Amino acid sequence: MANSVSYAAFLLGLCVEACAQTIEITPTTVQRGSANVFRIILKTHPEKPIVALQWNLVYPEGLRIELSGIVSGSASEAAGKSTACVLKPSKGTNHLLSCIVAGGVKPFPAGAIALVRFEATKNTPKGEMTVILEKIVGVSPSLESVPIPVTKAAIAIR
């Protein structure tokens, strides 16, 4: 009996993982004093459509992101969405942007929901820095909240 309960819990965990919406940040490399772009990618599941997304982008001192450098990706454009971000108070040595992608009722297809242009300052130490998307929330067509797990990616500084 215990084995069948454990197996059922395992299968439920797989379904929750497989049925959940996820977001990824593409890992990127940049030279000190130069700019590059990382993409925020939505992996969708047709049975759980999302029509709007909101998140916080946390990035360390040494990376610079201008609000004008955050634009809608191809998946957002295909769904007729617009992207808006605001700078929030810093969290220690980390900077914080709060963003929303919304507009209309057409669900997002899978793909890039936002492109983020960033710059590594000339004084940024070589190595890896981490950017994090947290407090990610999607909205379903029936206006239900769809929580999405935190994600992060490495930015290699050369």
Render pLDDT for 16-55 as a digit per residue (tens, 0 to 9): 444 579 999 999 999 999 999 999 999 998 889 999 999 9
When divided into structural domains, the chain yields a total of 1
pLDDT of the residue at 6: 46
Each residue's pLDDT tens digit, 88-122: 999 888 999 999 999 999 999 999 999 999 999 99
Kindly state whether residue 10 falls inside one of the protein's structural domains: no
Give the predicted TM-score (pTM) of the model: 0.86
Q: What is the CATH number of the domain that holds 138?
A: 2.60.40.680
CA 95 – CA 89 distance, rounded (Å): 7
Kindly state whether residue 151 falls inside one of the protein's structural domains: yes
Domain with 69 in it: 21-157
pLDDT of the residue at 3: 52
Each residue's pLDDT tens digit, 63-90: 999 999 999 999 999 999 999 999 999 9
Kindly state whether residue 11 falls inside one of the protein's structural domains: no
